[in-house]
Amino acid sequence: MGLEPGPGNRPPVREPQRIRPVGHPQEPGSAPPSPRRLVPWVRAGNGCPPLAGKKQEEQEEGGGYAWSMTASPPGPEAARAFLAWIAALAARDLDRLPQLAEALQAAGAPAAWLREAILLCCPYLGFPLALAARERVAPFLDEQDFSEPETLPPQRAFEEVYGAQSETLLDKIRDWDPKLSEWTLSFAYGSVLGRCGLPPKLRELAGVAILSILDLETQMFSHARGAIRCGATKSEVLELVQELQEDSWIRWGDRHRAFLEKNLGE
């Protein structure tokens, strides 16, 4: 079901470098661009705000992911590596996923982040690509024993992204098709985006990166606002889109930046 070739056909893992996606070949003999800052430090630990009836410290201890796989909370290098992996997946540069997973591991991110990246792919990019990605990074995940994070109620997860516009948007989707509205809440937000396995800011910046690569401007804008609601700044969102273009993941970054600059406000 959409799986890529097995382990015998995987390319050898090489030193991490910024990779151009399919359709943007690097000039022979030219050096790859040096890594750049995609996002600042993001807080590790349970990614969700306190649930009703639970204190934050109780969630940190028992409800969220165990971050014991790293000696200290993942920092900016892990956030950069995570967004690079997400960009490669959205651009369908599957051959680079093992290399970028190695970079993610080397940056100090827990294996749980890689698992969450694959699950995050499902509502944005579909199950076949998620399955293909999981096969490519099997050596990083097969021996892991994951605990399940808290999951926000679907409506609350939706409101975390869309704020005061939530009901208006759900009504609009419901008018298009009630099933689209039902599945948006129950699956996209109830099963995936409501998971607390990633810092919310990083999760929403990943959504911005995916939707920019797909050139879905309206949805990209919605998740850019979601990222700001989760703690990102406007400049961080604009910087992310700019760097997607500078690293040749997209050709339309200037248009996306202008759209965000105009509509995100201060």
Q: In this structure, is residue 137 part of a structural domain?
A: yes
Q: Identify the band that residue 212 occupies on the pLDDT scale cut at 50, 70 and 90.
A: very high
Give per-residue pLDDT as tens, 87-140.
Answer: 999 999 999 999 999 999 999 999 999 999 999 999 999 999 999 999 999 999
Q: In this structure, is residue 97 part of a structural domain?
A: yes
200-213 helix and 234-246 helix, angle to the nearest 10 degrees: 40
| Full-model pTM | 0.76
Which residues pair with residue 195 across a beta bridge? 151
Q: In this structure, is residue 126 part of a structural domain?
A: yes
Q: At 200, which amino acid appears?
A: P
Task: Using alpha carbons, select from 22, 137, 115, 2 the residue that is nearest to residue 65.
Answer: 115
Give per-residue pLDDT as tens, 181-209.
Answer: 999 999 999 999 999 999 999 999 999 99
Contact 155, 185 (CB under 8 A): yes
Cα–Cα distance list, 51 to 3, 42, 58, 65, 153 (Å):
37, 20, 10, 15, 9
Q: How many domains does the chain have?
A: 1
Structural domain boundaries enclosing 114: 56-148
Q: How many helices (H) and strands (E) does the chain have?
A: 13, 0
Q: In this structure, is residue 37 part of a structural domain?
A: no
Give per-residue pLDDT as tens, 233-262.
Answer: 999 999 999 999 998 888 999 999 999 999
Q: In this structure, is residue 72 part of a structural domain?
A: yes
Q: What is the pLDDT of residue 36?
A: 41
Average pLDDT value for residue range 67-86:
72
N- to C-terminal Cα distance for the chain? 45
Q: What is the pLDDT of residue 197?
A: 93
